Structure 1
Amino acid sequence: MADNKIFDVRLYNIIMLGVAFMLLFTAFQTTSMAEKSVLDSAKNDSNGTFNGDGYTSLSIIYVVFSVANWIAPPFVTVVGPKLTMFIGGTMYCLFILQFLKPMTWALYLGSVLVGFGAAILWTAQGNFLTINSDSETVARNSGIFWALLQCSLLFGNMYSHFVLKGSDITTDERTKLFIGLSGAAVLGTLCFLTLRNRRATDSENLINLNASGDQKVDGPLQALSLELTFFSGVYSTALGNTQHFGSDAKGLIGIAGMFVGVGEILGGAVFGLFGKRVNTHGRDPIVLFGFIVHMSTFFLVYINIPNEAPLHQSAAATFITSNKYIAVLCAFLLGLGDSSFNTQIYSILGFMFPEDSSPAFALFKFVQSIAAAVAFYYSEYLILQWQLLILVVLGAFGTLCFCSVEWESNRISRGGYQQIS
């Protein structure tokens, strides 16, 4: 009975963790996808009183995110993962609320706050997921969390699609959008208070050092997630700026976001929930699958979207007639490929660092956020073809690095991990 009770508490925590993140990121991911378009419209309506830029805001978020990751592990240790996630969620709420009345100083201050909030939130999330998992359930739990999290892309972007109309975003549309998103963010933050605190103990089935006493290898920190930047800010902006789509351009931001979510959820279910069945040959085939999916998607984006679309409105010629259905298909494939990377990264980090997960997740998020900050910075200046070239080169490098870590992990695992029983 005791084991069943422990299992139930763990599963409850994982599900509620996913629900909380789903609500919070219904607000934030929708905000980040629409931010550039929303702020450009606000700038046009402000008669020069508002000069904030969406790409600059997102770049600030990820710069602060990367720096704050260095202090996130001790913060989680002192405060605890549950309260840390509540504090981090509050930072997200403040950032989203400031869009109700855009002011330049509030936008950039909010970007700093959410950058810090993201660092402590995601470090605490990795720690909380790990202490509620063991070597048998970490892949399943990662899949449950990831699938619930990515439902946020469905709900938020569905709401965005019905609110945003026409080629410009009016003050009334912006107000309706962010009242709804702020409500979701507040509700998600409050959900963190329903989690039940647990600590890993020696009685749990944790993975330790290998039989020879060698130190465990580093996690796949080199897998730079520039794809995160592309689908969460650049691609949605490019769709909204593609004049070939006519009056449907801004509405495509929400539709594309929903289909990114469909891809993420499908990938989370297949690669996470059914992880034991699909990764019998290891995590690397799944990551290679994601790499192939993303490379194919980048090619389709390149021939379907004008090169200048990430920067401004464009009706420039494309290699094929710009097609809304291809654009939505690319959104789905971006989500599917991203889920293959992320579910396996969460799985391998939870597997390799069960007793000291906070620094591992913080270091991973540090590398990821540095890459995202750099990408959002150059997104203000580079046309689409150069952004895609960077993604192809670094995507190949990141995939190779992940596979190297996975092969080394398998080598050590075959040498024999001791389990504490």
Structure 2
Amino acid sequence: MGPEGKKLLNIVILGLGFMFMFTAFQTCGNIEQTIIKSFNSSEFHGSGYTSMAIIYGVFSASNLMAPSVVTVIGPQISMFVSGLIYSGYIAMFIHPLTWSFYTASVLVGVAAAVLWTAQGNVLAINSTDNTIGRNSGIFWSLLQFSLFFGNLYIYCAWHGHVHITDKDRRTVFISLTVISLVGCFLFFLIRKPDPEPLSGSEVTESLLQTESTEGSTSSSSQSGLCSQALDAFVKACKMFVTKEMLLLSISIGYTGLELTFYSGVYGTCIGAMNLFGTDARSLIGISGICIGAGEILGGGIFGMLNKNNRFGRNPVVLLGLITHFVAFFLIFLNIASDAPLAPEEGTDLRAFINPSVGVALLCSFLLGLGDSCFNTQLLSIIGFLFRDNSAPAFAVFKFIQSIMAAVAFFYSNYLLLHWQLLILIIVGFLGSISFFAAELIAEAKRQDSDYGSI
């Protein structure tokens, strides 16, 4: 197998590893609030929403130190160890305790930052300027398939179950833990690619220096790592206060809020609707599949549209906003306002129309489609505006997104559904307007670069 074939195989293995891991973890996040409501234990008093708030809050802060960790232990070991922590979080639900639940939440927040930093490193070293688009598409597609398999399993496992018993819970989470561990061990199949002439010599020299230095040299190495981390932090802080990033920060914040809504809140709402019948719990899985279908369809279509950029990014963002507004309106009509906070028995209340499973699943699809509209265009414009400093730019992107996701998971403990939808509508509208303003700046820069090349 040639060098390019080896790199492509590495990307496929990377995608499969993440697919297995997030088949388990995303499914866990989708059902954990429903599962927690079913506990009959005086020893456990946790909240799934609070757990996810902790995860995203710690994830946000840990983005600052993750590059140093990956530099020290390498991307492969970083992904494996992070994957083990993810598996531990899932396994905790087999015999849940409040202290272990929240401790695992903190650890997963740290592991998430290291995992995604290492993933970006593996993607970069196995890609060239000509293959980065293709490889990113392959990875994205394989990752999004995790929404299909995990949620299909939940549908089959819980079909017809009105109450989730302890046996049901243990069976599901033992299976999810095994699936996650399979993903962890797949990372060991990633082979080191043949180095490029320049970067290869630099990497080899760095490795030789690391192996041959002892004692006092190790302290200077640590000093160098601290300096790199500090430089990255300073760059990110400076980038955060640029006009372009301040405009985009509202759009990025919106993606964090709606990420919380479609990944944790909406599935809980569907499962709590007693008027959906005895299949309400299993519908959580079908909802996740519909979200995944929207994500994959949108990611594929709008990812291809970014290649020629003929019509610009604004129409795609506008489509995403309209798609989400339609979904929010239908959810408001279809789902009871107390569904996010309903007890384990669910809610017998109705909204403004007779609750419809078809409408609920259509909204799931629209949530995924709209999310892909915003995310593909944000990745595109950030990559263009901050081409020379893409690493700190995307670190700021993850920082803002995860902070807002943490905020949303926190208020999901207290706010009724219609107030959560109102927040999404206001921030989504403001975020779209600010994105349009940032796109004007990007268009001006594009025209300046075109004139400069003439």
State how far apart, in whole Å, the 2-side matches of 1:293 and 1:56 are. 28
| Residues 28, 268 of structure 1: alpha-carbon distance in 2 compared, 3 angstrom cutoff | same
* 2:424 aligned with 1:391: yes
Tell whether the 8 Å contact from 1:216 to 1:352 is kept in structure 2 after alignment: no
Tell whether the 8 Å contact from 2:384 to 2:442 is kept in structure 1 after alignment: no
Return the offset for 1:121. Answer: 1.4
Tell whether the 8 Å contact from 1:28 to 1:96 is kept in structure 2 after alignment: yes
State how far apart, in whole Å, the 1-side matches of 2:128 and 2:49 are. 39
State how far apart, in whole Å, the 2-side matches of 1:141 and 1:285 are. 26
What's 2:340 paired with? 310
State how far apart, in whole Å, the 1-side matches of 2:179 and 2:337 are. 35
State how far apart, in whole Å, the 1-side matches of 2:441 and 2:127 are. 23
What's 2:273 paired with? 242
State how far apart, in whole Å, the 2-side matches of 1:118 and 1:293 are. 29
| Residues 30, 292 of structure 1: alpha-carbon distance in 2 compared, 3 angstrom cutoff | same
**Matched positions, count:** 401
State how far apart, in whole Å, the 2-side matches of 1:145 and 1:351 are. 21
Q: How does 1:216-235 map to 2 (within 5 A)?
A: 218=245, 220-222=248-250, 223-224=252-253, 225=255, 226-235=257-266
State how far apart, in whole Å, the 2-side matches of 1:280 and 1:57 are. 43
Measured against aligned partners, the alpha-carbon deviations of 1:4-32 in whole angstroms (never above 9, x if no partner) come to 95543443333222222111110011000
What's 1:276 paired with? 307
Measured against aligned partners, the alpha-carbon deviations of 1:363-384 in whole angstroms (never above 9, x if no partner) come to 2111111101100110011001
What's 1:322 paired with? 355
Return the offset for 1:163. Answer: 1.1
Return the offset for 1:71. Answer: 1.3
| Residues 22, 64 of structure 1: alpha-carbon distance in 2 compared, 3 angstrom cutoff | same
What's 2:406 paired with? 373
Instruction: Could you list the structure 1 runs, at least 4 aligned residues long, displaced by more than 6 angstroms after superposition.
Output: 199-204
Amino acid at match of 1:290: G
* 2:27 aligned with 1:11: no
State how far apart, in whole Å, the 2-side matches of 1:332 and 1:134 are. 34
Tell whether the 8 Å contact from 1:135 to 1:351 is kept in structure 2 after alignment: no
Counting aligned pairs with the same residue, the percent is 48
- Partner SS for 2:310: coil
Return the structure number with greater helix share: 2
> Aligned Cα RMSD in Å?
2.7
Return the offset for 1:357. Answer: 4.3
What's 2:34 paired with? 37
Return the offset for 1:197. Answer: 4.2
Measured against aligned partners, the alpha-carbon deviations of 1:242-291 in whole angstroms (never above 9, x if no partner) come to 111121110111110111111111122222256426x4323332222212
Tell whether the 8 Å contact from 1:142 to 1:343 is kept in structure 2 after alignment: no
Return the offset for 1:37. Answer: 0.5
* 2:341 aligned with 1:341: no
Tell whether the 8 Å contact from 1:301 to 1:327 is kept in structure 2 after alignment: yes
State how far apart, in whole Å, the 2-side matches of 1:341 and 1:83 are. 32
Return the offset for 1:410. Answer: 3.6
Return the offset for 1:179. Answer: 1.6
Return the offset for 1:188. Answer: 1.1
Return the offset for 1:319. Answer: 1.1
What's 1:142 paired with? 136
Amino acid at match of 2:147: L
| Residues 171, 195 of structure 1: alpha-carbon distance in 2 compared, 3 angstrom cutoff | same
What's 1:210 paired with? none
State how far apart, in whole Å, the 2-side matches of 1:374 and 1:244 are. 30
| Residues 349, 151 of structure 1: alpha-carbon distance in 2 compared, 3 angstrom cutoff | same
State how far apart, in whole Å, the 2-side matches of 1:328 and 1:59 are. 26
Tell whether the 8 Å contact from 2:320 to 2:369 is kept in structure 1 after alignment: yes
Q: How does 1:286-305 map to 2 (within 5 A)?
A: 286-305=316-335
* Higher radius of gyration, 1 or 2: 2
